[in-house]
Structures are given as structure tokens and as C-alpha cells.
Amino acid sequence: MKRLKMVVPKGRLYPRVIKLLNDAGLGVEHDDRVYLPRVAHPGVEAKIMKPQNIPKLIELGAHDVGFAGLDWIVETRAEVREILDLGFNPVRVVAAAPRALDGRALRRRKILVASEYENLSKNFLEKRGYDYVFLRTFGATEVFPPGDADMIIDNVSTGRTLEGHGLRTVARLLSSTTRFIAHPAALGDRRKRERIEELAMLFRAVLDAQDRVMLEMNVPEERLDAIVKSLPCMKSPTVAPLHGRLGFAVKIAVRREEVARLIPRLKKMGASDILEYTFEKVVL
């Protein structure tokens, strides 16, 4: 069987995606200067490309699978299949303008709108009835207003960059995260589909492991029922008797954000020798 052709985004997303691949066991070399990285997994080959190009390349069948933000999937109008929302790099695509320009000022005349997102921008501006001239940017879009643009359409994570440039949000166009996507024909190939599904399972296991920790504790026999009933866990805690009938060892997998309130409560209920440790993968 031919190897599954995977495309990995260069730039800001690269470290997160490479870590995910390596945590999943694919063994990808970590060097974004190499456009054809070595992959230890015998069923996968990889290429590094700019994220803006990835959705369309996958639609065209140049690659079987890859990683791209929803913003660029929508912007390029790529017909791809989303396999998994990874949650990486959450951003909002927004329209923003200088604080001095209110809504009426933006509609009284033809405005200059700057953005990397041509399709998203024109769709928004035409639906809202703006009279505009569009200027395609190639990064650093936030520096265009007020002298070189009346409005920008850009992605933001916190909004602090916009505020620092004296801009206010006019509208939100889209919320975006990184997706694991596939060429539709690859999913029509049984062997490729199986490999894609296996990768998705491993990625999900890595992501679930990041959200959970294992708690292990010793519990006196007389407190076992009360403590077990109070425990949040994926299914049911693991309980094993301690040597010498000195109580029970209890293990549970819990969400990381629950630990701060859970450990003090368990201590008060009689648990002792409480250990916390992390997972590599959690396969649900």
C-alpha cells in the first residue's frame, strides 16, 4: 500500500502539530526548515506547506490528509472532509475599524478594506451593503488603519493587538480552530480510510490525555464506599486491596481542572498517600 500523504502547516501551528504527531507515535523529525521531514511511521509521509495553501491542495488530491484552520478552509472554499477538531490556535475573524470611525461614517462613503481573507471579506461586505475597495494584504494587516485602510478583516486571539492599534471590532465573521482534514477520495479508499481513522483515534487519545490526570490513593475500608461514590471518573474507579488488609488502593482518571478541589476533599474524607500523574494517551 502507498503511504498516506500528509501535509503539515508551517509557521505558528507547526510546533503544536509536530508535538501531536510525535505524541501519537509517528516519529516526525522536528525541523521546520526541512520541507520533507522524515517520518518513522512506515505508513505516512509528510510535507510542510504554508497553512493558507493546505485546504486547496487536499481538495485537489495532492495530499490525502493535513491540518488547517477553519478560517482558511472557509476562505479557500475547499471541499474537504473534516475528521477532527483539534482545538489548536482558537481565533476569531473580525472586521475592525479605527475608534474615530463609527458605523455611519463607514457607510457614508466608499471605504478601503484591507485583509488576507479576500472571499470572507467580500462576502461580509456585500451582505452588509458596504461600498468598498478591497486591498489584499500579506501579513501585518493591523498596521494599515487609519492612513492606509478604513477597515481591516483579520484573525485575533485576545483582541489586544487591535486595541493597541486603536481599533474596535465592528463584527465577528467566524470562529476558527485547527482541523484534521482529508481528501474525500482518500476516505473512499478502504485502506487509506482505515489509516486515517487510526490516526484520528490516536490524536483524540493524545488530546484526551492532556485534559486528564490519574489520581491514586489509599483508602481505609470503612471510608471506601463513601469515597468511591464521591469520585468523578471516566467509568468506574479501579479498586484493589492493600497487603495485610490495611485498606484499599483506588485509582481514578479525572479532568485536570477538577484536581484542585478534589484532592483536599479526598484528604478530608480519609484518603491518604494521594498521587497525581499524567497520561500519554487516553483511548475512550
**Using an 8 Å Cβ cutoff, are 94 and 115 in contact?**
no
As annotated, the residues of the chain forming the CATH 3.30.70.120 domain(s) are 212-278
Encode burial over 51-63: b for 16+ CB neighbours within 10 A, e otherwise.
Answer: bbbbbbbbbeebb
Per-residue pLDDT for 211 more than 70? Answer: yes
CA distance 278 to 41: 25
What is the grid cell recorded at 52? 493558507
Encode burial over 194-227: b for 16+ CB neighbours within 10 A, e otherwise.
Answer: ebbeebbebbbbbbbbbebbbbbbbbeeeebeeb
Q: Virtual CA dihedral for 257, 263, 266, 267, nearest 10 degrees?
A: -170
State whether residue 84 is helix, strand or coil.
strand
Banded pLDDT at 52 (limits 50, 70, 90): very high
Position 162 scores a pLDDT of 86
Mean pLDDT in the chain? 91
Second CATH level (architecture) for the domain 91-175: 3-Layer(aba) Sandwich (3.40)
As annotated, the residues of the chain forming the CATH 3.40.190.10 domain(s) are 4-88+177-188, 91-175
Banded pLDDT at 273 (limits 50, 70, 90): very high
The larger pLDDT score, comparing residue 280 to residue 177, is at 177
Per-residue pLDDT for 35 more than 80? Answer: yes
Position 145 scores a pLDDT of 87
The order of strands in the sheet holding 111-115 is 132-136, 111-115, 151-156, 91-98, 167-176
pLDDT digits (tens, 9 = 90+) for 60-94: 999 999 999 999 999 999 999 999 999 999 999 99
4-88+177-188 sits in which CATH class?
Answer: alpha beta
**Using an 8 Å Cβ cutoff, are 276 and 247 in contact?**
no
Position 154 scores a pLDDT of 94
**Using an 8 Å Cβ cutoff, are 95 and 171 in contact?**
yes
What does the DSSP 8-state code read for residue 147?
A: T
The larger pLDDT score, comparing residue 66 to residue 100, is at 66
Per CATH, the number for 212-278 is 3.30.70.120
Range name among 31-40, 42-51, 93-102, 246-255 with the lowest pLDDT average:
31-40
